Structure 1
Amino acid sequence: MPKRVPIIVMVLSVVSALSTKKLIALDLDGTLLNAEHAVSKESTEKLRELCELGVSVCIASGRSGPAMYHIIEALALPADATYAVAYNGACGYRFKKDFTRSKKDNPEDKSIVFESCLDQIAVEESLAFAERNDLLAQVYIGDEIFVHCRDENHYDLAKRYNKLTGANHTHLIDGYRSINKAAVYKILLMTDDPDSVLLKLQEQEPNLQATLVRGSPPFFVEVLHHDVCKGNGLKLLCQHLDIPLDSVIAFGDGDNDVEFLQFSGMGIAMKNARPRTLAVADRITEFDNDNNGVFHSLSTLQKEEHLPSYPHKVSLSSLSSSSSS
């Protein structure tokens, strides 16, 4: 009798096109990144798998472009393009497949999808507030971060930010006059007491036309264009990609992630998230950012068929033997 060759059957999950999400949007610090400021191997492999299955991935952070380039490069996602919402929603990027930091100035490899800069009056008022209160201001213009350090504490704050993000500073010797009238994405007011600085800024500059954000990690206050937030940045990116917001899963942990989670079809707060973020989330991860919270949640979402997964392979011979036993 000829030897029987088992036939492989692909058992597919029947998933409604309406229930399967099309875009995963991920905050970085406190969410996708662990305490070592790195993406875990498990999360990287899971995101690559989802890209292969047709899901788009967007990195969304308060970080500047240069503070995100190395993460985009390390993820090396297999999609034609990876997207990023930077500067807390002030700028959107498209990174071509196989992007590396050496290609950052090539418009074919990195292009701007949208941008919103601070009004000039808001820039002047924010810098005046920083000087009156002896605060270090980090001013973001294009890919550069300009600072005017006036004492050792300022230099220490700049070094801490460099260690956190990998971004370098351009040091100004004679104050901020040399960058007057430039298009500014955002300003960070560096401080170890962001809550009191935020309150003082609101009291001293009640007419400031800007969005104010308590930083995460908490050693700065962020000043952005009055229409800018990470949630609006997500909206603009989805318009560009023609993806409904209902088809988005967003992960975040900080105060700047509130609208980001609210605007998405499914907003997921990290276990380690701030109370405001936890309060608006549709779900909370079982694990924190230091214990693969994103990876475990994505795996669960695949099991629940909110995200696609690879089909299981089952041998007919194994089905026959199991049914006869």
Structure 2
Amino acid sequence: MPPNDIPSEAVSGSPYTTRKKSKRYRMVALDLDGTLLSSNGTLADVQAEYLRGLSEKGFILCLATGRSARRTYDHAAKLQIPRLPIVCNNGARGLVWSPGKSEDDPVIADQFQFLVPKGVAQRAIDLANKHGFFLQYYYRDSVYANEKSESHYTCTKKYTERRGIRIQHIEDDYQEMLDKDQLPTKLLLLFDSSVDYDNALQATNDAFGPSEATIVPGSWKWSRFLEILNASNNKGMGLQHMCEQLKVPLDEVIAIGDANNDIEFLQMAGLGVAVKNAVPEVKEIADVTLDFTNDDHGPMRILQELEEKGELDFHHGRR
């Protein structure tokens, strides 16, 4: 079904009259899992087509996700938008993706990175060793792991199968990478059902003060996890830094998300939008909560409505 054949009643009531700032937006930043992607992790053809059309008119699109960079490239390839801004690793890295010779060989232009300091990374490694936690180390486009138990190897297998990225096994507890100052954009503590998650969360919070690291809890259907980031970093700050690179005022940006790591992201934007399936904490801070879920193509529907109301700015041209 063509995008314009889909009804545009995307929001409850008339939220636009309550906006304090500009009612014209030149950019949208889209979370992936639970927001732009359907529940099976795919980007619907109808949404990809509509978003590509917005870009061709001069509207700016940006992907913003907790995923690593490499795990965004297949969706960027489907969008086929030249110079697509991507904020990944929960705001720790920003880049611009462009089509390359193949889907596996895109042209990547890094814009910024907020690395985990060496001392924090070392303390996270020590924490994992002390408690037997499974720790993943994100460096550039790769994910590294030092599996030490059958449980760790099971986590690696499930992660590889279900998250679509291969983990590189290393033997030395990341020491060689630290010695070379190959610092991570994030560290991930991944727990299966054998680990008491509440105790793991407490131990992690006890290990790092709020001025030392940002701790982001999360879950998948098969596991729970804790992300360890640079203390000054979150998705909202990542969006701010990307907008600085693009010279786009934040009050002219729409941010759409669903999960707890999207709270600062929605608060940073001029218009924060929660899909219907968002967690209550996100709906509470959002400017608009959609009547449609990610499986109902909620992001496309709100953008269609804003476009019909003349609230999308196409006059700045593609960047």
Q: Are 1:213 and 2:216 counterparts?
A: yes
Q: Give me the whole-angstrom Cα distance separating, in 2, the residues matched to 1:138 and 1:254.
A: 22
Deviations 1:212-264 (A, max 9, x none): 10125362110000111111111111111110001100111111111100010
Greater shift in the superposed pair: 90-99 or 24-33: 90-99
Q: What residue is the counterpart of 1:185 in the other structure?
A: 185
Report deviation, 1:137. 0.5
Report deviation, 1:71. 1.2
Q: Give me the whole-angstrom Cα distance separating, in 2, the residues matched to 1:55 and 1:194.
A: 42
Match of 2:138 among 140, 143, 168: 140
Q: What residue is the counterpart of 2:27 in the other structure?
A: 23
TM-score (norm 1): 0.82
User: Is 1:91–1:115's contact at 8 Å kept on the other side of the alignment?
Assistant: yes
Q: What residue is the counterpart of 2:38 in the other structure?
A: 34
Tell me: CA distance 1:34–1:118, structure 2 relative to 1, closer, same or farther (3 Å). Answer: same
How many residue pairs were aligned?
A: 286
User: Is 2:210–2:231's contact at 8 Å kept on the other side of the alignment?
Assistant: no
Q: Are 1:203 and 2:206 counterparts?
A: yes
Q: Give me the whole-angstrom Cα distance separating, in 1, the residues matched to 2:252 and 2:141.
A: 31
Q: Are 1:72 and 2:90 counterparts?
A: no
Higher relative contact order (CA 8 A, sep 6+): 2
Q: Are 1:58 and 2:56 counterparts?
A: no
Q: What residue is the counterpart of 1:96 in the other structure?
A: 98
Q: Give me the whole-angstrom Cα distance separating, in 1, the residues matched to 2:47 and 2:285.
A: 24
Q: Which runs of 5+ in 1 are unaligned?
A: 1-17, 310-325
Q: Give me the whole-angstrom Cα distance separating, in 2, the residues matched to 1:135 and 1:216.
A: 16
Alignment of 1:279-298 (within 5 A): 279-298=284-303
Letter of the 1:19 partner, please give it. K
Alignment of 1:89-168 (within 5 A): 89-97=91-99, 100-104=102-106, 109-168=107-166
TM-score (norm 2): 0.84
Q: What residue is the counterpart of 2:250 in the other structure?
A: 245
Match of 2:51 among 47, 52, 65: 47
Letter of the 1:131 partner, please give it. N
Letter of the 1:296 partner, please give it. R
Q: What residue is the counterpart of 1:14 in the other structure?
A: none
> Percent same amino acid among aligned pairs?
32
Match of 1:175 among 170, 173, 176: 173
Q: Which runs of 5+ in 2 are unaligned?
A: 1-21, 315-319
Q: Give me the whole-angstrom Cα distance separating, in 2, the residues matched to 1:198 and 1:265.
A: 33
User: Is 1:73–1:99's contact at 8 Å kept on the other side of the alignment?
Assistant: no
User: Is 1:149–1:171's contact at 8 Å kept on the other side of the alignment?
Assistant: yes
State the SS of the aligned residue for 1:31: helix
User: Is 1:286–1:297's contact at 8 Å kept on the other side of the alignment?
Assistant: no
Tell me: CA distance 1:71–1:185, structure 2 relative to 1, closer, same or farther (3 Å). Answer: same
Tell me: CA distance 1:273–1:163, structure 2 relative to 1, closer, same or farther (3 Å). Answer: farther
State the SS of the aligned residue for 1:243: coil
State the SS of the aligned residue for 2:32: coil
State the SS of the aligned residue for 1:112: strand
Q: Are 1:224 and 2:222 counterparts?
A: no
Report deviation, 1:290. 2.1
Greater shift in the superposed pair: 273-282 or 158-167: 158-167
Letter of the 2:55 partner, please give it. C
Q: Give me the whole-angstrom Cα distance separating, in 1, the residues matched to 2:90 and 2:23.
A: 28
Letter of the 2:185 partner, please give it. Y
Report deviation, 1:98. 5.9
Q: Give me the whole-angstrom Cα distance separating, in 2, the residues matched to 1:98 and 1:20.
A: 33
Report deviation, 1:99. 7.3
Report deviation, 1:195. 5.1
User: Is 1:73–1:100's contact at 8 Å kept on the other side of the alignment?
Assistant: no
Q: Give me the whole-angstrom Cα distance separating, in 1, the residues matched to 2:38 and 2:73.
A: 17
Report deviation, 1:204. 4.1
Query: What is the Cα-based RMSD across aligned positions, in Å?
Result: 2.0
User: Is 1:250–1:261's contact at 8 Å kept on the other side of the alignment?
Assistant: yes
Letter of the 2:227 partner, please give it. E
User: Is 1:25–1:249's contact at 8 Å kept on the other side of the alignment?
Assistant: yes
User: Is 2:212–2:230's contact at 8 Å kept on the other side of the alignment?
Assistant: yes
Match of 1:272 among 250, 260, 277: 277
